[in-house]
């Protein structure tokens, strides 16, 4: 077990060699995840195991754990989100290989270049996030009461209602 994650790794070679790695990954390095987060401070704990199964499939199995700060879409306040994802990815070189992949794995298309681990981890974290983050069991979680304070004159017309009117005309 190597207690350090490199930025890039030749996944296929690492699977051939049966390597296992783990280490912290800074949230700030997960660029595609950042727009979903209230805070970029902190780290996730990542552990990866690479190998070849009995069918000869090269795989990357792993887990990502940590805490994320998301924005609740009801009260618009930050919410603490415990992340605990596990995944099993089958390494494939082509679409054809992807079709043949056992359904025990999600496909991960690899190129000849070493893969960015931050990219692989970002994909798994994004898949694990709730589509609409909402507090649960928090009594102060209520929609902010802004609508009532908006003067009627400043409300913009809903573009869809305009469209509906147009459609109704003969």
| Closer by beta carbon to Zn ion, 24 or else 78 | 78
Helical segments of 31-139, H only: 95-100, 117-128
Q: Which helix (H) or strand (E) holds 69?
A: strand 58-71
Span 30-69, contacts to Zn ion by CB under 5 A: none
Binding to Zn ion by residue 81, rule CB under 5 A?
no
Distance CA 1, CA 56 (A): 22
Tokens of 88: 């099993």
Binding piece for Zn ion, criterion CB under 5 A, among 11-19, 52-60, 70-78, 121-129: 70-78
Helix (H, G, I), strand (E, B) or coil at 114: coil
Binding to Zn ion by residue 74, rule CB under 5 A?
yes
| Closer by beta carbon to Zn ion, 12 or else 81 | 81
- Give CA separation, 33 vs 11, 61, 73, 136, 143, in Å: 22, 20, 17, 22, 25
Q: Which of 20, 28, 75, 85 binds Zn ion (CB under 5 A)?
A: 75
Distance CA 170, CA 20 (A): 68
Number of residues that bind Zn ion (CB under 5 A): 5
Nearest approach in angstroms of CB 141 to Zn ion is: 3
Binding to Zn ion by residue 20, rule CB under 5 A?
no
Nearest approach in angstroms of CB 170 to Zn ion is: 47
- Residues forming the site for Zn ion (CB under 5 A): 72, 74-75, 135, 141
């Amino acid at each position: 077990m190597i207690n350090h994650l490199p930025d890039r790794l030749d996944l296929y070679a690492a699977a051939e060699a049966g390597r296992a790695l783990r280490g912290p990954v800074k949230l700030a390095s997960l660029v595609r995840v950042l727009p979903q987060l209230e805070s970029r401070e902190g780290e996730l704990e990542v552990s990866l195991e690479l190998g070849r199964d009995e069918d000869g499939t090269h795989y990357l199995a792993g887990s990502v754990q940590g805490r994320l700060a998301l924005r609740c879409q009801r009260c618009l306040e930050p919410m603490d989100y415990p992340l605990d994802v596990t995944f099993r990815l089958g390494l494939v070189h082509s679409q054809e290989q992807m079709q043949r992949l056992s359904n025990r794995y999600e496909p991960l298309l690899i190129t000849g270049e070493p893969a960015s681990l931050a990219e692989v981890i970002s994909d798994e974290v994004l898949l694990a996030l709730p589509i609409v983050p909402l507090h649960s069991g928090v009594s102060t979680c209520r929609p902010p009461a802004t609508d009532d304070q908006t003067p009627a004159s400043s409300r913009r017309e809903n573009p869809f209602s305009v469209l509906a009117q147009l459609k109704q005309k003969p």
